[in-house]
Structure 1
Amino acid sequence: MSILYCSLDAKEFNRIAACESAKEIWKKLEVTYEGTNQVKETKFGMLVRKYELFSMMPEESISKMFTRFTDIINSLKALGKDYTNVEHVRKILWSLPKKWEPKVTVITEAKDLSKLSLDELLGSLMTHEIT
């Protein structure tokens, strides 16, 4: 309990001061920051929906799109949902606008998507965006 006490600021300490065990402190902090199971499931559902409907916004750069995508997949991973690298690569390629179709075709025909990392894909798309 003292390790938990030492790691919290005054505001957080006041929240858990009445707790009688480390487990009780941990549960209270968990609900405070992660929410109840119902909140977690709602967040999970919203994130899965964001992932499924993900697409590049008009006038958005590749790097900004990747940042948004990474935020979604990291949040999903924290809630226990982990997609494969191939699923991520395909999702990015499918989320690009129609003007990117020739580049998507080149990537899918020239590269083995099961071995293509997100970083390699990002590099390839950024190079194309610059040119």
Structure 2
Amino acid sequence: MPFAKVVSGPFIPMQVVKEETVKKPWSEWNETERKKAHSLAKNIITSALNMDEFFRVSQCNSAKEMWEVLEVTHKGTDDVKRARKHSLIQEFELFRMQSEESIADV
């Protein structure tokens, strides 16, 4: 299974280069290191969710897929965001104080 890059988080493989411990480049991570990083990422995401959101992402195969499902759920697709923006602009443009209203009423 191909993995997206998990480049920061609680688990970053390290290596010794010229007697100094440094982060191992993604290209040098082995399959075990990649699986561990992705398992931790999935665990972090799921531990922050309520039951409804957990069930929404429980069938996802990767942390990236989980994140994308949550992002669309909470932010919406580009079309939804565009429609929401136009709706709010229209609502703002049509907002008027009625003749019987005071500023405090608005």
TM-score by length of 1: 0.42
The structure with more helix, counted as a fraction of residues: 1
- 1:1-131 paired onto structure 2 within 5 Å: 1-63=42-104, 65=106
Q: Distance in 2 between matches of 1:22 and 1:61?
A: 52
Deviation at 1:41, TM superposition (A): 0.8
Q: 1:14 to 1:47 in 2, by over 3 A?
A: same
Deviation at 1:43, TM superposition (A): 0.5
Q: Which has the higher contact order (CA 8 A, sep 6+)?
A: 1
Report what 1:86 is aligned to: none
Q: Distance in 2 between matches of 1:61 and 1:44?
A: 28
Which structure has the bigger radius of gyration?
2
Gaps (5+ residues) in structure 1? 66-131
User: Identity of counterpart residues, as a percentage?
Assistant: 43
| 1:76-123 superposed Cα distances (whole Å, 9 cap, x missing partner) | xxxxxxxxxxxxxxxxxxxxxxxxxxxxxxxxxxxxxxxxxxxxxxxx
Gaps (5+ residues) in structure 2? 1-41
